[in-house]
Amino acid sequence: MKSYIETGLSDCGNDEWVPDYVETEKLIARDHGFLFDFIDYDFSEAEHMLNRYLSGFNDGSGTDEDMLKKAFDEIRKSHPYFRNNPSNVAWFLNRIIVGYIAGKYPHKEIAWQKKTFSLICVSRYSPYMDFDTMYSQRLESGGRHILSWFLDLQKRLKRWLFMVLDDTNPDLKQYSLERRSMIYGYFYGANDTLIIKTEIRPTLSKRMKRASLQYEMDRINENGDLEQEEQDNQQKKKRKKTSSELLEEAYDSIDLLMDFTPEGSLPKTVKKMLDGIGESEEETAKKKELGMEGERSESEEIGMVVHEVDGLSDLLDFEIYGMMNSGKSIRRCRNCGRYFMPKGRNDELCNRPIPGTDRTCYDKGLMPVFEQTKELKAYLSNEYNKASNKYDAKVRRGTETKEFLAVWRKEAKRRKKLAEEGKMDAKEFIEWLKNC
């Protein structure tokens, strides 16, 4: 049975556009390499090009169309969803540009904003030029850099993979898919979607229900005056933490665990949340009585199945749902730190090529590739400084927090010292800097 994904519209000439169907495996590879490559894709070049393109509009010097084309081509490289269908890139960029205009000039009338957009939109490759639709589906930058939508998507997908499918952490690994997916679904407010698409029906424990209610109240009141907030903080130190506060700690703990020590011990706050999630005993008994355990919908044996997706994020969500339903797990390569699909139970290395060599991580194994020389310490310091400057730039743009940077620097200096003393493979440290 052939399976296709409707990714957008194709130009058939004479301004005729028809649905574009791509064979599923061309977008969702068996080893899920496209997904793993996307979450590590560097959008900084495309960001730089778009900023140059839009700066000409801001200062009145005129836009540089060449910069727009280069940004367009750079984004196309990130995933076959874009490479197969140029109109998809144009559609995303137009929505991003509209969001940029609306956020940059909120005091201007909608008519002025639409006229401005018509001057700097991506008109080539794109049939989606209805202004009203564009405005209702714009992608906001939130005052941060113009491609923040892509960075947010990458971060959300990394969290999802780590919290639900990553087999690297021994503590998380012992929990069921239901428990791990539920805590992810709660954090992102996608419980209903998660339940429907994965056929998982866990219920919130009393702890999680209390946390949910408290969390929403905290969000409503988060804009209170600073003096009251300080008083509340003092009170928090004196009393026992609420379920909502434990949930917030769990979220932050998972973030740091994922970014710095994916194989480290699971924090107590995370364990408390996970231990409080799961299918109720009554629901389990009812499913067993009805013979619904492990039930899955049957697919057609012949013909063609077409999956419609509304955008790149839906496609990648669809891919992860499929991985969950098939019971697949993933790991991080011990050399490069990136995700891969292990073929065997003990696989710890991926087959990606090592830059500048004709070997892969699997070929290299875990043996060191650096000799202890006088230049090593200077080389490691230089690589650390480059990575530190990259994070400084992210803090200035607002895509990372100062707290995150402080924790990253502490961990990076610890690893750098180990590499200098020969207690860690120097190549492993460099790869960690590039991929953390």
Give the length of the chain.
Answer: 436
**pLDDT recorded at residue 216:** 54
Place 79 in a pLDDT band, splitting at 50, 70 and 90: very high
Bridge partners of 434?
Answer: none
Q: What share of the chain is helix, strand, coil (3-state, %, to 5)?
A: 60, 10, 35
Interatomic CA distance for residues 215 and 241, integer angstroms: 13
Rounded to whole angstroms, what are the CA distances from 41 to 44, 144, 262, 370? 9, 19, 20, 26
Interatomic CA distance for residues 251 and 183, integer angstroms: 9
The residue that leads in pLDDT, 28 or 206, is 28
Interatomic CA distance for residues 168 and 176, integer angstroms: 15
**pLDDT recorded at residue 124:** 85
* Plot region of 155 (φ>0 → left; ψ -120 to 50 → alpha; else → beta): alpha
* Residue 246 backbone phi and psi in degrees, to 5: -65, -40
pLDDT digits (tens, 9 = 90+) for 336-350: 889 999 987 778 888
Domain extent listing, the chain: 367-435
Q: Are 94 and 122 in contact (CB under 8 A)?
A: yes
Interatomic CA distance for residues 169 and 272, integer angstroms: 17
**pLDDT recorded at residue 27:** 94
**pLDDT recorded at residue 295:** 42
Overall average pLDDT of the 239-243 stretch = 65
Q: Which residue in 93, 149, 82 sits closest to 121, CA to CA?
A: 93
Q: Are 383 and 430 in contact (CB under 8 A)?
A: yes
**pLDDT recorded at residue 359:** 82
For tokens 């200098």, what's the residue? Answer: 420
| DSSP state letter for 29 | -
Q: Which of 40-49, 143-152, 348-357 tops mean pLDDT?
A: 40-49
The residue that leads in pLDDT, 224 or 344, is 344
51: helix, strand or coil: helix
pLDDT digits (tens, 9 = 90+) for 349-371: 888 888 777 888 887 764 444 44
For 156-209, the DSSP string reads HHHHHIIIIIB-S-HHHHTS-HHHHHHHHHHHTT-HHHHHHHHT---EE-HHHH
Dihedral sign for Cα atoms in the order 174, 175, 177, 181: negative
**pLDDT recorded at residue 276:** 67
| 192 has pLDDT over 50 | no
Overall average pLDDT of the 307-320 stretch = 87
5: helix, strand or coil: strand
**pLDDT recorded at residue 373:** 54
